[in-house]
Structure 1
Amino acid sequence: MPAFSPDLMSDVRARFAHVDSCPFQGPRIFFENAGGALTLNSVVETSAKFAAIPDNQGRDNPAAHALVDLISRAKQDMATFFNPNGGQFFVGESGTELTFRLIRTAVMGAAPGGAVIGSTVEHPASRSAATHWAKAANKAYISVPHDDPTGSVSAEAYAAHMTPEVRVATILHTSPVTGIANDVAAISAAIRKTSPHAYIFVDGIQHASHGHIDIRSYDIDGYVVSPYKVFSRHGYGVAWVSDRMTALPREQLINGPADNWEMGTRDTGAYATFSDVVAYLDWLGRQRSDGANPRTRVEAAGAAIHAHEQALTETMLHGTGNLPGLAELPGITILGGVDNPAREGLVCFALKDLPAADIVAHLNAQGIRTHVRKADHYSGNILTPLGLDSAVRVSMCHYNSVEEVSVFLAAMKEIAAT
């Protein structure tokens, strides 16, 4: 059964733009959330409002003062969402740009020599940045193999490859290919046990929309998200950095503020739209909790999101009524395994003798938006070891319904039969 009641489901969906129709295609079911989540209506309104404001921060006029206050408020809201212990937030061009920048700063600023460690499950953004800057800094790169059947990497796998010479480590929170989450806190602890002073970076881009983030419990130095994947919009990324990361040498304006990470005037509207995201999660948390503080309500929202998405993926995998689930189709391969408790709102699959691109095309013709993942520079690290040249990614979010999953299963039943 879905975790959301029909009334709550209706209220949730009403807060998002284009929830059941595409302005180019018409009516459709949106199961492409890993490529970019739906956008809150409030974010659309805020974006339009701030796009029209000509003033910049840092001036002595009422508009500039208001913009500075809005940015300050947004950083407080980010703290509510991420729950850090110190450090600071800033925005950049995108999650990928911030990933490169933080990893570059850590690798180039760490003590000479040593090594950089990461895993084969990671998105190419962190892998590319880590290998590039490790080479530039004359540091070895240690590649931790992930577990192909589960689509994840464990703390034990990191521990087996750790040395005291590790200067920088990268961790993927959740895979955008398999939808399987990794235990960031446990991996971080394994890294620190052998190399206590390593700089640890986490890619939270896929994870952010599927449940709560608790940086305080991770003992890390950098965490990055792409807001367009967490109900906001394109055009910016959000990063949190520890104070010790900020103390490293990095690009700055001469004689500028020592702790400043931002390059040039930032878009106040970007900050303001992230406040919209946190306000929405606060509202959702209020539907499940009468907690007195915003963080408690955001945590309640994360728990509700996780429960609802778990119900959606269980239905998709095991079926409902007379509709078989994906796991019951002959010749099926479910990436990450069928019953994987670390799955977050995403099912990636392949059918023997039926190309993934054909399945995606058939679904799209029926108004069901999914995506094909190919064994290319984005997903080859996951697909190639499984002997797959492509797979179908069905990525859900908490505003999706069991009814939408049922429509998908009916379509898949027909596709598999042909």
Structure 2
Amino acid sequence: MITDNPTLMSDIRARFAHVESCPVAGPRVFFENAGGALTLNSVVDTSNQFAAIPDNQGRDNEMAHELVRVIDQAKEDMRVFFNAPEGDIFAGESGTELLFRLIMNAILETEEGGVVLGSTLEHPATRSACTRWAKVAGKPYIQVAHDDATGCVTAGDYIPYLRPDIRVATILHTSPVTGMGVDVAAVSRAIRDVAPDAIIIVDGIQHASHGLIDIKGYDIDGYVISPYKVFSRHGYGIAWTSPRLNALPHDSLIGGPEGNWELGTRDTGAYATMSDVVEYFDWLGAQVSDAQDRRARIEAAGAAIHGHEQALTHAMIHGTGNLAGLADLPGVGIIGGADNPAREGLVTITLEGMEAPDLVTALRTRGIRTHTRKADHYSGNILDPLGLPSAVRVSMCHYNTITEVSAFLEAMREIVDGLASPDP
């Protein structure tokens, strides 16, 4: 519905900062959304507003009371966004820091013995935390092998690794390298069938901007996002924790509120910008549906985002107008395959005869911003089994257009033709 509605697309793009141009480089197509999505103009305004306020929460003055109200409202807004009627929602240093903290406490404070379970698809935020704290706790860390061909992991892949003594399990909702989404509900259900008491923690950082989050439907204990990847700003992360995870001992101030996860004075502006994000999803849902309920509008927005991004990736891979898609350009490889229903707004490619960093540069000089993924601590788990030292990540979001995809394909055709007929 977004794809076929130019007026709505114009309205969407008008709500974001720097949609068409970089403040330093000038006009460009922004296909580096997996590295950090564009920021809502409302988030910029809210950040400026709260950055100027000298007061803190917990004082006897009107502004202090207002700051508490803003934080409470943001938490209620995020409950609707996450579909999380129970548990706690709180801010931390970053998504990675929050994943480390949740995983550490889950591993250390669950029953002795048993194992920790994850997958080879996961970001190092979860794999590193599990590796460190499983060793400290003396609980072996087991990783489910993902499918190199599809760039994904399924509930079926988990089944051979399941055992009753799983104490903690982690799930990646969407891969920032392959772009493939994981059926969290199905994986969680498979784990619960064998280890019903396991603490299950989900890395939702890459998924959050690409569609729906439904914590109530997942039967999990922790979910973490990085707001800068879902239209807010850098400098904080957001976590949801279940009553079961909250009940485990964790770092807190002696004599402080029972079960509190927050350490130190909170950034009211960070919370307030998440209200801006939720308001945006609510607004978008009202444009694409007649839903009267706020959660229903957010669900409609998620469906519209998913549908539009599928249209973008399909055009990028299979072509649009008279432009050949990546699948038909000689020498182009597509991680996860050309036709993969798990793909969420991201295509990672290689090009025979050109190193990935050189391809990123060639695209940049043609006004297309992408990013190199190297076989390092961030992406080696995906690229090493494929024998790739690096690849190029082309990541889109729902404010990107078919016209921008066309510009990318024109640039790729020019680059590919240049390899076939190099200048004398």
Q: Which TM-score band (shorter chain)?
A: over 0.9
Tell me the equivalent position of 1:315: 315
CA–CA distance in 2 between the matches of 1:306 and 1:153? 20
Q: Single out whichever of 156-165 and 212-221 deviates more from structure 2.
A: 156-165
| Residues 69-116 of structure 1: per-residue CA shift (max 9 Å, x gap) | 100100011011100141010000000000000000100110001100
The aligned amino acid for 1:396 is M
Tell me the equivalent position of 1:164: 164
Structure 1 position 55, deviation (Å): 0.5
CA–CA distance in 1 between the matches of 2:37 and 2:63? 32
Q: Is 1:108 aligned with 2:103? A: no
The aligned amino acid for 2:363 is L
CA–CA distance in 2 between the matches of 1:184 and 1:2? 26
Shift in alpha-carbon separation, 1:2–1:331, aligned structure 2, 3 A: farther
Which aligned pairs between 1:387-398 and structure 2 lie closer than 5 A? 387-398=387-398
| Residues 366-398 of structure 1: per-residue CA shift (max 9 Å, x gap) | 111000101111001101111111111000000
Tell me the equivalent position of 1:136: 136
CA–CA distance in 1 between the matches of 2:137 and 2:207? 30
Which aligned pairs between 1:90-101 and structure 2 lie closer than 5 A? 90-101=90-101
Whether the 8 Å contact between 1:47 and 1:269 is mirrored in structure 2 is: yes
Structure 1 position 2, deviation (Å): 6.1
The aligned amino acid for 1:65 is H
Tell me the equivalent position of 1:25: 25
CA–CA distance in 2 between the matches of 1:4 and 1:370? 25
Q: Single out whichever of 322-331 and 19-28 deviates more from structure 2.
A: 322-331
The aligned amino acid for 1:7 is T
Whether the 8 Å contact between 2:3 and 2:9 is mirrored in structure 1 is: no
The aligned amino acid for 1:58 is G
CA–CA distance in 2 between the matches of 1:303 and 1:246? 31
Q: Is 1:264 aligned with 2:264? A: yes
Runs ≥4 in structure 1, deviation > 2 angstroms? 1-4
The aligned amino acid for 2:179 is G
The aligned amino acid for 1:170 is T
Q: Is 1:237 aligned with 2:257? A: no
Q: Single out whichever of 22-31 and 322-331 deviates more from structure 2.
A: 322-331
Which aligned pairs between 1:195-206 and structure 2 lie closer than 5 A? 195-206=195-206
CA–CA distance in 2 between the matches of 1:4 and 1:305? 13
Whether the 8 Å contact between 2:57 and 2:68 is mirrored in structure 1 is: yes
Which aligned pairs between 1:348-387 and structure 2 lie closer than 5 A? 348-387=348-387
CA–CA distance in 2 between the matches of 1:85 and 1:74? 14
Q: Single out whichever of 211-220 and 284-293 deviates more from structure 2.
A: 284-293
Identity, in percent, stands at 68
Which aligned pairs between 1:168-247 and structure 2 lie closer than 5 A? 168-247=168-247
Whether the 8 Å contact between 1:181 and 1:344 is mirrored in structure 2 is: yes
Whether the 8 Å contact between 1:37 and 1:231 is mirrored in structure 2 is: yes
Tell me the equivalent position of 2:79: 79
Structure 1 position 158, deviation (Å): 1.1
CA–CA distance in 1 between the matches of 2:376 and 2:45? 37
| Residues 13-50 of structure 1: per-residue CA shift (max 9 Å, x gap) | 00000000000100011000000000000000000000
Whether the 8 Å contact between 1:3 and 1:304 is mirrored in structure 2 is: no
CA–CA distance in 2 between the matches of 1:197 and 1:85? 21
Whether the 8 Å contact between 2:173 and 2:202 is mirrored in structure 1 is: yes
Structure 1 position 3, deviation (Å): 2.6
Q: Single out whichever of 39-48 and 3-12 deviates more from structure 2.
A: 3-12
What are the ranges of 5 or more consecutive residues in structure 1 without an aligned counterpart?
none
Tell me the equivalent position of 2:421: none
The aligned amino acid for 1:358 is D
Question: Secondary structure of the equivalent of 2:67?
Answer: helix
Whether the 8 Å contact between 1:95 and 1:224 is mirrored in structure 2 is: yes
Whether the 8 Å contact between 1:286 and 1:297 is mirrored in structure 2 is: yes
Structure 1 position 353, deviation (Å): 1.9
Whether the 8 Å contact between 1:335 and 1:348 is mirrored in structure 2 is: yes
Query: When the two structures are superposed, what TM-score results if normalisation uses the length of structure 1?
Result: 0.99
Cα-Cα RMSD: 0.9
Question: Secondary structure of the equivalent of 1:287?
Answer: helix
Whether the 8 Å contact between 1:43 and 1:273 is mirrored in structure 2 is: yes
CA–CA distance in 2 between the matches of 1:120 and 1:357? 25
| Residues 179-231 of structure 1: per-residue CA shift (max 9 Å, x gap) | 10011000001111110000000000000000010000000000000000000
CA–CA distance in 2 between the matches of 1:87 and 1:353? 52
- In the alignment of these two chains, the number of paired residues is 418
Shift in alpha-carbon separation, 1:236–1:416, aligned structure 2, 3 A: same
CA–CA distance in 1 between the matches of 2:365 and 2:2? 27
Q: Single out whichever of 200-209 and 258-267 deviates more from structure 2.
A: 258-267
The aligned amino acid for 2:219 is D
Structure 1 position 159, deviation (Å): 1.4
Whether the 8 Å contact between 2:171 and 2:201 is mirrored in structure 1 is: yes
Structure 1 position 252, deviation (Å): 1.1
Query: When the two structures are superposed, what TM-score results if normalisation uses the length of structure 2?
Result: 0.98
Tell me the equivalent position of 1:52: 52
The aligned amino acid for 1:145 is A
CA–CA distance in 2 between the matches of 1:84 and 1:276? 18
Whether the 8 Å contact between 2:12 and 2:399 is mirrored in structure 1 is: yes
Structure 1 position 4, deviation (Å): 4.3
Tell me the equivalent position of 1:405: 405
Whether the 8 Å contact between 2:2 and 2:304 is mirrored in structure 1 is: no
The aligned amino acid for 2:392 is V
Whether the 8 Å contact between 1:2 and 1:311 is mirrored in structure 2 is: no
Question: Secondary structure of the equivalent of 1:54?
Answer: coil
Q: Is 1:346 aligned with 2:371? A: no
